[in-house]
């Protein structure tokens, strides 16, 4: 099949592309590289001029004073220039409800063109969109990325872009997609649960991880347990980074002779994944039910990851608590307790590391997951 993947924010589509190619399919990946993360794409579809270092301050000023989204305009212009080559695909998969980060009118125009020029178009729910934010806003999760906002309304500015997903334009775009696409797929439980009530929902397909590229690093425990905390400052609040930071201050003092802490900020993807190679424990996020992409790749390497590992996830994959990953909660004392347990019983680090790799191989093998996508795409048209 000829397949077009649109969007890349975590390397999910890159791994899916590699799996699909292994199965003999022809795949083209368009994306914006997600800023400093700099993910690989076949064709870059993001703004270059208005997002350049010299022009960007002017871009922000125009947006603030006149409410004109110059980046959105450039994104739209560049995407439309590609229309002649974005035709005749058997499958098109969109990574996000908003492709060019522009007005609903322009988003719908682009999606409409993709629908009219290709056989089947699907949406992958794997990040911030209307459905997941509405579910979180209605407090249907016991905690979510909106929890800090609920607890402190002074964070409104930090949550402005997320809360816009509840506004009428975002709802209009959401409704158009769910009524006109061939279906919607979720990448993990944080997006699966909000979609269960929708007719357009085709089910969850777990994140694909390229286990051939990511090698297992058997943990070696000599003098110190190494703990890694990589922070993306743009989403640190909704990842719960402060809980990890506070817990690490206590751990550093309590175990100063036997623990080494690595904390970094805003590293490009390639630097980030190589930087944590030496660690035994990786701190990911506290407000999720399931693992995001960074957590899964770390688990594939054999790291003990503090991340989403809620009961719903344990039940879905038929797992026991603390065997594959550590469920991170927004509770400093809890985090300190779990970290202390691992530091004081290092054999558990070795055990969980091996279990984590086995879990990724069993449930997230990129070639097997690619086949699951194909099977899902080939389900009966639901429109």
pLDDT at 314 over 80: yes
Residue 231's nearest CA partner among 198, 292, 195, 272 is: 272
The pLDDT of residue 382 is above 60: no
Are the C-beta atoms of 337 and 331 separated by less than 8 Å? no
| Measured distance CA(44)–CA(316) in Å, rounded | 36
pLDDT of 33 above 70: no
Is residue 149 predicted with pLDDT exceeding 60? yes
Confidence check: pLDDT of 121 > 60: yes
Computed on alpha carbons and rounded to an integer, the radius of gyration of the chain in Å comes to 21
- Decide the pairing of beta strands 259-265 and 225-231: parallel
Q: Residue 30 gets which letter from DSSP?
A: E
Q: What is the pLDDT of residues 154-201, one digit of tens each?
A: 999 999 999 999 999 999 999 999 999 999 999 999 999 999 999 999
For 102-119, what is each residue's pLDDT tens digit?
Answer: 999 999 999 999 999 999
- pLDDT tens for each residue of 266-277: 888 788 888 899
- pLDDT > 80? residue 381: no
Residues 47 and 99: their CA atoms lie apart, in Å, by: 12
Per-residue pLDDT of 238-267, as tens digits, reads 999 999 999 999 999 999 999 999 999 988
Provide the whole-model pTM.
0.92
Instruction: Return phi, psi of residue 125, to 5°.
Output: -95, 105
Give the tokens for residue 364. 């997230």
């Amino acid at each position: 099949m000829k397949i077009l993947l649109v969007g890349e924010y975590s390397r999910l589509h890159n791994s899916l592309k590699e799996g699909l190619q292994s199965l003999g399919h022809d795949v083209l990946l368009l994306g914006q590289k997600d800023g400093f993360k700099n993910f690989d794409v076949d064709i870059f579809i993001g703004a270059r001029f208005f997002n350049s270092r010299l022009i960007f301050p002017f871009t922000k000023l125009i947006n603030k004073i006149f409410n004109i989204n110059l980046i959105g305009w450039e994104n739209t212009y560049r995407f439309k220039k590609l229309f002649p080559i974005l035709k005749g695909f058997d499958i098109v998969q969109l990574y996000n409800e908003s492709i060019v980060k522009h007005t609903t009118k322009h988003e719908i125009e682009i999606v409409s063109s993709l629908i009219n020029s290709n056989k089947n178009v699907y949406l992958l729910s794997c990040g911030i969109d209307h459905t997941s934010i509405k579910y979180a806003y209605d407090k249907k999760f016991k905690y979510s990325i909106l929890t800090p906002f609920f607890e402190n309304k002074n964070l409104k500015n930090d949550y402005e872009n997320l809360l816009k997903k509840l506004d009428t334009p975002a709802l209009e775009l959401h409704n158009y997609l769910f009524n006109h696409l061939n279906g919607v797929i979720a990448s993990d439980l944080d997006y699966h649960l909000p979609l269960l009530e929708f007719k357009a929902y085709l089910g969850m397909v777990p994140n694909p991880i390229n286990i051939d590229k990511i090698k297992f690093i058997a943990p070696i425990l000599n003098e110190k347990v190494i703990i890694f905390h990589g922070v993306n400052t743009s989403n640190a609040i909704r990842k719960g980074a402060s809980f990890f930071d506070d817990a690490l201050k206590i751990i550093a003092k309590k175990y100063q002779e036997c623990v080494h802490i690595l904390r970094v900020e805003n590293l490009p993807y390639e630097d980030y994944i190589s930087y944590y190679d030496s660690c035994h424990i990786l701190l990911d996020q506290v407000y999720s039910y399931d693992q995001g992409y960074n957590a899964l790749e770390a688990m594939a390497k054999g790291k003990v990851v503090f991340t989403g590992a809620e009961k719903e996830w344990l039940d879905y994959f038929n797992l026991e608590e603390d065997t594959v990953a550590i469920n991170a909660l927004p509770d400093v004392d809890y985090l300190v307790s779990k970290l202390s347990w691992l530091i004081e019983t290092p054999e558990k680090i070795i055990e969980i590391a091996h279990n984590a790799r086995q879990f990724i191989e069993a449930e997230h093998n990129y070639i097997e997951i690619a086949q699951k996508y194909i099977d899902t795409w080939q389900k009966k048209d639901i429109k």
